[in-house]
Amino acid sequence: MSTTGFIGLGNMGGRMTRRLVDAGIDVLGYDARAESIATTGARPAHDVAQVAAETDVIMMSLPDSHVVEAVVGGEQGLAARARPGSVVVDLSTSAPASTRRIAAELAERDVEYLDAGISGGAAAAEAGTLTLMVGGSAEALDRVRPLFAAFASNVFHVGASGAGHVTKLLNNFLNAIALSATAEVMVAAKKANLDLSVVLDVLNKSSGVNFATLNRFPKIIHGDYLKGGLTNTLMLKDVVLYTELIAELGVAGLNAPGPLAAFGLARQLGYADQISNTVVDAIGDLSGGVRLHTNDTAEGDRA
């Protein structure tokens, strides 16, 4: 295939880029931190404008809509520089309203815009088993499916522009609920002097089973926090975006306070830039310095 552009080569973008390169795809990459490019195997671009000028498919993995808007806008941005007929894919977790505005702006310049929400985290990105939920035209999606195959095993077309990011926020909210609620339950189990491995076996064969009980806490109870995934700051950001979305839709947000409090607490207690799994330690801090495992101290975990 022709050269593919990739903007944002951080935690997730770097892993997806590496998968593309390993699949034999020529990738022209750009990141504000030049050192991030080297480990991906991509050819370094000088700026966003170069990526736009030299590629017909441009992928982005950026922190939020504000950064996406900055990359798209301006004289050197994608809206001004992307080739007519090209496809821009936003793999970030962005606000759907912003996504729809960008899609309309790019459409005026004959550029397709796909919003492709991601589920699976860093481990799935490395393994090439991500799930993508894509909004935009089916024709544009068909053009980039061969590229998605390098890092995703499940690709769903969920609707028109913005639908991918809506679906991502719905999924991430349930993820936040499961993680924060399970963290609270496991701290309670620890304080009750229960065998945590047995508790997880029970939960995973009972109605309390969820992604966190199946995939996260079997590691966490042994001190492995699965570093490299979504941070507490980004998880909180996603939950806030969810609350804004349901406010626009007129849906009652009865369950939002729990994860807002949990991940907000984690940020305030010093876990802002650590993987969101450390929310269990933030809850443990307020519960008497509880840790699910016994090898490390609270201060050691936070270091």
CB neighbourhood size of 7 (10 A): 29
Q: Which domain holds residue 13?
A: 4-161
pLDDT computed for residue 1 by the predictor = 56
pLDDT computed for residue 165 by the predictor = 97
Answer yes or no: 168 catalytic.
Answer: yes
Mean pLDDT confidence for 148-161: 98
Say if residue 298's pLDDT is above 80: no
Are residues 17 and 92 both part of a single domain? Answer: yes
Cβ contact 31:25 at 8 Å: no
CA atoms within 13 A on the CB side of 61: 21
Are residues 155 and 180 both part of a single domain? Answer: no
pLDDT computed for residue 270 by the predictor = 98
Are residues 137 and 226 both part of a single domain? Answer: no
Mean pLDDT confidence for 67-90: 95
pLDDT computed for residue 300 by the predictor = 40
Are residues 8 and 142 both part of a single domain? Answer: yes
Which residues lie closer than 8 Å to 66 by C-beta, 6 or more apart?
Answer: none
Cβ contact 59:29 at 8 Å: no
Are residues 170 and 151 both part of a single domain? Answer: no
Cβ contact 229:179 at 8 Å: no
Distance, in Å, from the CA atom of 32 to the CA atom of 262, rounded to the nearest integer, reads 31
pLDDT, averaged across the chain: 94
Distance, in Å, from the CA atom of 130 to the CA atom of 124, rounded to the nearest integer, reads 5
Residue 303 pLDDT class (50, 70, 90 cuts) = very low
pLDDT in tens, 223-251: 999 988 899 999 999 999 999 999 999 99
CB neighbourhood size of 250 (10 A): 6
Name the active-site residue from 168, 190, 191, 227: 168
Mean pLDDT confidence for 247-275: 97
How many structural domains compose the chain? 2
Last residue of a domain, one of 161, 195, 215: 161
Residue 231 C-alpha from the chain's centroid? 9
Tokens 């991502």 locate to: 168
pLDDT in tens, 196-222: 999 999 999 999 999 999 999 999 999
pLDDT in tens, 29-74: 999 998 899 999 999 999 999 999 999 999 999 999 999 999 999 8
Which residues lie closer than 8 Å to 173 by C-beta, 6 or more apart?
Answer: 238, 239, 242, 256, 259
Domain containing residue 149: CATH number? 3.40.50.720
pTM for the full predicted model: 0.92
pLDDT computed for residue 2 by the predictor = 81
Are residues 275 and 172 both part of a single domain? Answer: yes
Are residues 293 and 185 both part of a single domain? Answer: yes
Residue 301 pLDDT class (50, 70, 90 cuts) = very low
Are residues 280 and 190 both part of a single domain? Answer: yes
Are residues 8 and 148 both part of a single domain? Answer: yes
Query: What is the percent of the chain where pLDDT is above 70?
Result: 97
Are residues 129 and 94 both part of a single domain? Answer: yes
pLDDT computed for residue 302 by the predictor = 42
Residue 222 C-alpha from the chain's centroid? 25
How do beta strands 57-60 and 130-135 pair?
unpaired
Last residue of a domain, one of 141, 161, 181: 161
Mean pLDDT confidence for 79-96: 96
Distance, in Å, from the CA atom of 134 to the CA atom of 78, rounded to the nearest integer, reads 20
Are residues 101 and 18 both part of a single domain? Answer: yes
Distance, in Å, from the CA atom of 286 to the CA atom of 77, rounded to the nearest integer, reads 45
Last residue of a domain, one of 161, 188, 210: 161
Which is nearest to 273 in space by CA: 7, 46, 10?
10
Are residues 48 and 146 both part of a single domain? Answer: yes
Which residues lie closer than 8 Å to 121 by C-beta, 6 or more apart?
Answer: 226, 228, 229, 230
Domain containing residue 174: CATH number? 1.10.1040.10
Ramachandran sector of residue 246 (left: φ over 0; alpha: ψ -120 to 50; beta: rest): alpha
Residue 295 pLDDT class (50, 70, 90 cuts) = low
